[in-house]
Amino acid sequence: MWWPQDGGTISAQDINQVISTINGSQLTNPGPMFNISTQVVTTTVATVTFSSVPAWRHIFLTWQTRCTNNSNNGNLYAQLNGNSTNNYYSQGLYTNAATAVADTHLAQPKFYLADVPAALNQSIISGSGWALFSNWSSTTFDMQFVSNGFCPLDNASNRSFIRSGAYNVGTGPYTSLTLTTDGNFDGTQSGGSIFTLSGSM
Amino acid sequence: MTLTGITPPAFTTITQGAVGGAGDVNQMIQSLNGTALYGPGPGWVQIATQTLGSTTSTVWFSGSFPVSIYNNFAFNHLALVYKARSSAAATTANLYLRPDFIQTATYDTDSLVGTGGTVTSSETNTQTSMTVGKIAAASSTASMYGVGWVVMPNWYAQNCLNACALNGTAFTNAGNATSANVFGGFSFDFSAITGGLGNRSALWILTDGNFVSGSSFTIYGSM
């Protein structure tokens, strides 16, 4: 990718490259995956909301976080457009040492996106992962996601997991994604918690 | 051509061959730098790629990331996409990561491996590298590889490093000898983190035995 130097001198070649980029295929055919927003949490917060999410083809969420719940682990939840009706369905599959565990959450008020470490782990521990909302801009199909992540735990087996889910109350448009957890998101550990929303057109 | 789905930028339509004003150019440059085009940075971009021309024991990405090539922006998140095969005398081999080549026994890995009608869950702790996948090895049918991708959120921060991975391995061409895998792991070299190491700058990729010629590895980053 061509990249102009911040503060540097702009040459005629740079301008031509910009114009050809805009006019050409790099941004519109179909273009790379752009960052929409990154939120870094350095305190404890109850929700992380991405508002004004554009009607792009695919939306991709990446996170590293932990929660304040007084337990080994909690969940990372997501709601679409702030809707809390019991129309979210999630299915998970995760490791528990030598046992594979499947869990399901039917007719819930939110997606179960991921496992995250909670307060009983040492403070440096946090969990990470990604979730893909494929065809976010569709007005034909229900919204679905697939996620994958890792949840390290001090007092139990770590969890490597994959999850998927569906929201069955019709179609979008979807303009916001609200993330919650059990208790609050804890961003007080070194480096804080981070949530990045990306998308492609 | 009108840019669709991008709001802002404030500029509207640029006609090919037309001369734009200075404001247009500045706006476009800001957009491409990530200032106006939503959020920080350009999103997921390719940082580097390697296709091996010979048998190689260790694939190493370093030097040019995470801070050098994009105006000293750091990449918050990294992803590795690979297609690889090992020379190890086995049907399959593991794929390992060593961020900053830290090789103390400070890595845990948990995995789900589905082969045929069986799913196997396993956990290996305090290892000297992080296992993030399986690839075909010398006893598998020639030309069979393993493919997958590994996401490392918050790579750059002073925080514990996690990796989560989805991958598949084909080890015969009979159609019934493949596996679908979910791997996850983390580095708990906390002394380095609390001591302020953070800012990881290199990634080593290893396997049992060596990577064979033709194996390919690509690193992507997101700010």
Query: Inter-chain contact B38–A34, Cβ cutoff 8 Å?
Result: yes
Of B44, B121, B164, the CB nearest to A149: B164
Q: Which of A51, A76, A91, A63 is nearest to A174 (CA)?
A: A51
pLDDT at B77: 87
Q: Provide the pLDDT confidence category of residue B37 given band limits of 50, 70 and 90.
A: very low
What does B151-163 look like in DSSP terms, one character per residue?
Answer: EETT-SSSS-EEE
Residue type, B220: Y
* Strand-strand pairing, A44-50 and A177-186: antiparallel
Residue listed under structure tokens 């990405």: B61
| Region B35-62 average pLDDT | 77
Distance CA B5, CA A147 (A): 25
Residue listed under structure tokens 């640029």: B14
* Strand-strand pairing, A111-117 and A73-80: antiparallel
pLDDT at B67: 42
pLDDT digits 0-9 by tens, B138-160: 999 998 999 999 999 988 766 67
Distance CA B3, CA B5 (A): 7
Query: Inter-chain contact B162–A150, Cβ cutoff 8 Å?
Result: yes
Which residues of A fall within a CB distance of 8 Å from B7?
54
Q: Which of B143, B203, B200, B197 is nearest to B171 (CA)?
A: B143
Report CA-CA distances (Å) from B59 to B89, B123, B142, B199: 20, 25, 21, 20
Of A21, A28, A127, the CB nearest to B32: A21
pLDDT at B199: 60
CB B4 within 8 A of CB B186: no
CB B78 within 8 A of CB B48: no
What is the least distance, in Å, from the CA of B142 to any CA of chain A? Answer: 31
Residue B66 has pLDDT above 50, yes or no: no
Q: What pTM was computed for the model? A: 0.83
Which residues of B fall within a CB distance of 8 Å from A93?
112, 182
Q: How many Cβ pairs closer than 8 A exist between chain A and B?
A: 217
CB A190 within 8 A of CB B159: yes
ipTM for the predicted complex: 0.83
pLDDT digits 0-9 by tens, A151-183: 999 999 999 999 999 998 867 889 999 999 999
CB A3 within 8 A of CB B71: yes
| Region B121-138 average pLDDT | 96
* Partner B contacted by A102 (CB < 8 A): no
| Region B56-68 average pLDDT | 70
| Region A34-39 average pLDDT | 90
Distance CA B79, CA B21 (A): 38
pLDDT at A37: 92
Residues 12-31 of A with CB under 8 A from B: 14-15, 18-19, 21-23, 27-28
Residues β-bridged to residue B216: B51, B83
Of A5, A150, A161, the CB nearest to B186: A150
| Residue B31: its H or E element | helix B22-33
Q: What percent of chain B has pLDDT over 90?
A: 46
Mutation site, A95, A147, A163, interface B, largest B CB count within 10 A: A95
pLDDT at A148: 97
Residue B11 has pLDDT above 70, yes or no: no
pLDDT at B39: 46
Of A62, A190, A196, the CB nearest to B158: A190
What is the least distance, in Å, from the CA of A9 to any CA of chain B? Answer: 12
Distance CA A156, CA A172 (A): 39
Residue partners of B213: CB distance under 8 A and separation at least 6: B52, B53, B54, B55
Phi and psi (nearest 5°) for A159? Answer: -120, 120
What is the least distance, in Å, from the CA of A190 to any CA of chain B? Answer: 6
